Structure 1
Amino acid sequence: MAIMRLNKNTFRISRPMNQNILVGVIFFCLPGIYTAVVGLGAGGGRSSSGRVANQTNSILYGMFALFGFLGGTIVNLLRPKLSMMFGSIGYPLYVGSMWFYDQTGQTWFPLFAGAVLGCTVGILMTCAVMISISYPEEHQKGLFIAQQWMIRSIGASVGSAIALSVNIDKATPEGIGGGVYLTYVIIQCLPLFIAGFFIIDPKNVVRDDGTHLALFKPLTFKQQLKAFVKCFTNRQLLIMFPALLGCDMALALTSTINGFYFNLRTRSLNNFIFQVVQFFGSLIMIFILDSKYITSRKRRGLVGIVFMGVVSIAACGGLYGWLETVKFTSFTSTPARDWTHSTYPGLLVLYMLFGLIYSAYQLLAQWVIGCLSNDPTVLAQYSGFMTGSFSLGICISFVIAAEGVPQWGQVTFQFILYVFGVIGMAYIMMYEVKESNYFREENTIAPVYVEQQEAVKDENAAENQPVEESRQEKIASGISTNESCSNSQLNTREVGVSKA
């Protein structure tokens, strides 16, 4: 990997990578602290909080699925700044509701906050996915998606470490102090200001070579609604649906087993390990999906799909074996096993595998769909479909667990989704994904180096399509297009840099 060199573009707010990193910082503050609260237990670890947690999760993930599917339309209408600001509201409200419940034992506020968080996080996640797959150049899409995941996993690891440090010597849950809650809420309020001051409109995002991402034509609500409905008849998205549905299920399945089988400090340790492994899962996928040694995008995608297929199937097979070894279904109450117990090392390995799957499988699915287009408006709708599918899957998984379906049945359902998901992603990669989408979409603008490569390969392309791309860039930059687009003007991209 090349060493990053500092220049005038390095810290420019309108730079695509910097916008993506800012989203990662927002994720550091929000899901990270949320993970700490979950690690401590709903209501700070009150022994009576299990029922409230189940009720809250049911409402939260139901609303998450609904607003995830609607998220693409909402993001296109509100734009990223307002979407991220609105999406940041739910987390501190939810943590505050846990504080309220810890003090009063009243459930109405946590249930209300769970519904609000479901609405807001659906929009937040949709906007984040859209930025990660539409802002980068085609050879950087794996990097951008992984950046968000890695920063998010660092935040979640910090949050989990807090929970572990609080619970390290405790076998039973205890409440936590108001000062800890207040600290959590303050940290989770920071993204509201980060989004308000630093997240910008996509039309103002400028690459290092001075080019914009695309032309952003104003669309009416009716047009956005039609685009939303079309997602549910889009053959490519429907083929991807099993993969998307199974992405988040690793979290629900492992948390169900973790919450039932282990004592408090072991649950906290498992939660910490699960979050840390996500960082390395994302790192692995960068090297595969953005590899410079595999020049074909299709081949890189297929290598990633095969890798995730092997890991997913192995993890499910291993979990089958572990459940049978410990006779999991024979327990009528929690055995509260500690990490010193002989059955722990086996699950530790499985927990690490499922932590890797949780980040890498979802990252891969996002990357595959990101290969279908470069248009931010189109990818916003695709991102909404992805987010809704992710949350619907985990909602189904929690419902299955709540209905008392044995763990082997949950693993079987997840295994089936992984198999069909891998098959679907492989089909899309082989038959639907192009080596490049530049010059194939009306509104997108190719980077300068892509136009130069195209000009070398085909003189006709140099005379025709790049001229159109240059005209689009001038429109995106706010420059008059009445001038002639002669060959000499194709080399004046530095105008975009000066305007940025």
Structure 2
Amino acid sequence: MSGLKSKDLPSQEGSLDPSPTNVTDVAHGVNLDHYRATVPLWKRVWQHSLTQMMLLSVQAFCGPAMSDAITGLGGGGLATPQVSNITNAITYALLALFCFFGGPIVNKIGVKWALVIGAATFPIQGSAYYCNSKFGNQWYLIFSGAISGIGTACWYVAEAGAIMTLAPSGARGKYLALWIVSRNLGQLVGGAINLSKNHVKGADGGVTPDTYLAFIIIECIALPFALLITPFERVVRSDGTRIVTAETLSTKMELKRIAKTMTSKLVMFSALWALWSFFYGVGCFGLGYILDMKHLSQRRRAQIGLYTVVILNVGVYIWSIIMQTKFDRHNPGHIDWEDGLYPSSFLPYFFVQTTGPLSQSYMYWLISSFATDAQENVRNGAAFRSIEAVGQAIAYGMNTQTTSNPLVGFCVTFGLLAAALGPMIMLVNTTPDRIPADVIAEQQDAAREKIEHV
């Protein structure tokens, strides 16, 4: 991590650039009065941490969320099982590989340009689904899987580092809730389209190839929003604190940090949780409220958050297993949305899609509680994303093998949660009472004040 050097201290006199790094003070990292007086409103809005998080959330909706929506509509369903399996295998393999090495890559080129590279690849997957649906062009699906694996990995790592870094310490839960809700809105969009096609009782609907053009347009919108991302050192949080960044490391040192990160207690103890967290198929703001409660220590909030997520997930799993057992005993056939059995059948699926994002939102909040600087958040996020990708691949493989007995999937997921709980409790009980990066920022501010008074 970068130490405090006199050459790194911002000069407040004679500066031609009234950016946050030129208006620091001791108390909060940024002299907000001077900042407001010297920086135009449009620039202050642009550099605000909430604006940057909203820009990321828009990208999450245009990219991963739209990918989920397109997949849910079944454009790839016209591919043969072999092509579909090859495409998914390539996507997950490259996603896991590039996430593993993503930390050094993103720290070298910067979060902004990593997001730009990833956003530029979003429309490729959508166009592949369109071409397959309209022309039966299946080789393009395989090609898009490779490009998507690389581009999405680059974007995921940058996104993970950003979402864990931007928020002020007292609002991390709410910021993460905003992002995770945007990230999962794609399923709502896909579901709404499916409902519009199938709202007549007993009728089956389909999606025309031209429907995918709308999704491709939305995916293209992510790129300009990625270009609006500003470097961390120019971001101003709502509480006036600044983001602690480290010096750029050599490629050799970054590679060494990979091994250190992957073998750290933080990653080792959260690995099973990461695998489990993507085994779900929005109450994230409620969890965000719990994680941001100022009258509790960070460790206590981490403990309450963990038990809240686990209890909700266990409840949903038990409900789902009961319903599946009933269906195994008496197969009700197709259930229409006007049938009396529909609410009790649909609600478990709905809550699985809610508690899954809760689990991820909580994990990113917890990881950010250990960070000493923005670059460490990127490395930790890359490690977590890599393990998530492995979990996705395993879950996909299980789905192809357990279609005859869904209870197997439920039981494996339940067991994985149980296995993950012990290490997570150990990790949560070591959560620092304050974010190390915040403590370091205060120490640097105190050192800066001492130098300025000499």
SS in 1 for 2:371: coil
Task: Please identify runs of 4+ aligned residues in structure 1 that moved more than 6 A.
Answer: none
- Larger mean CA deviation between 235-244 and 181-190 belongs to 181-190
From 377, 380, 391, the equivalent of 1:379 is: 377
Deviations 1:22-66 (A, max 9, x none): 0001112123322331222124x64x6665444422322222222
Which residue number corresponds to residue 286 of structure 1?
288
Corresponding residue number in structure 1 for 2:305: 304
Query: Per-residue displacement from partner, 1:178-237 (whole Å, max 9, x unpaired)?
Result: 3x33222222111112212x1122222233565531243121111111111212211221
Q: Which residue of 1 aligns with 2:48?
A: 15
Farther off after superposition, 31-40 or 392-401: 31-40
In the alignment, the residues of structure 2 paired with residue 469 and residue 281 of structure 1 have an alpha-carbon distance, to the nearest angstrom, of: 42
The DSSP-based 3-state class of the residue aligned with 2:134 is helix
Structure 1 contact 243–418 (Cα < 8 Å) conserved: yes
Match of 1:467 in 2: 446
- The question of 1:57 aligning with 2:88 is answered yes
The gaps in structure 2 that reach 5 residues or longer are 1-35
> 5+ unaligned residues in a row in structure 1: which ranges?
1-6, 252-279, 447-463, 472-483, 488-500
Aligned to 1:318: 319
Aligned to 1:233: 263
Distance in 2, matches of 1:10 and 1:142, equals 26
Query: Separation in 2 of the partners of 1:282 and 1:104?
Result: 40
Alpha-carbon distance between aligned partners in 2 of 1:69 and 1:97, rounded to the nearest angstrom: 26
Q: Give deviations 1:138-192, integer Å, cap 9, x for gaps.
A: 22221221121122334542343234323434854634143x3322222211111
Equivalent pairs, count: 413
3-state DSSP class of the match of 1:326? helix
Task: Determine if contact 2:302/2:431 at 8 Å carries over to the other structure.
Answer: no
What CA distance in whole angstroms lies between the structure 2 residues aligned with 1:470 and 1:320? 60
Distance in 2 between the 1:408 and 1:153 partners? 25
- TM-score w.r.t. the length of structure 2 is 0.83
SS in 2 for 1:147: helix
Would you say the 8 A contact 1:64–1:119 is kept in 2?
Answer: yes
The one-letter code sitting in structure 2 at the alignment partner of 1:105 is G
Counterpart position of 1:216:
246
Structure 1 distance, partners of 2:372, 2:173, is 14
User: Residue type matched to 1:284 in 2?
Assistant: G
Alignment-derived partner of residue 452 in structure 2: 485
Quote the Cα distance in structure 2 between the aligned partners of 1:173 and 1:158.
16
Q: Which moved more, 1:63-72 or 1:78-87?
A: 63-72
Give percent identity, aligned residues only: 23
2:102 to 71, 90, 95: 71
Q: Report SS of the residue matched to 1:13.
A: helix
1:250 pairs with 2:250: no
Residue number among 397, 400, 406 corresponding to 2:398 in the alignment = 400
Deviation at 1:135, TM superposition (A): 1.8
Answer whether contact 1:61 1:395 (CA < 8 A) is retained. Answer: yes
Match of 1:492 in 2: none
Alpha-carbon shift at residue 414 of structure 1 (Å): 1.0
2:214 is equivalent to residue 183 of structure 1: yes
In the TM superposition, residue 439 of structure 1 has moved relative to its aligned partner by 6.2
Corresponding letter in the other structure for 1:281: G
Distance 1:207 1:9 in 2: 15
Cα RMSD for the two superposed structures: 2.6
1:28 to 44, 53, 61: 61
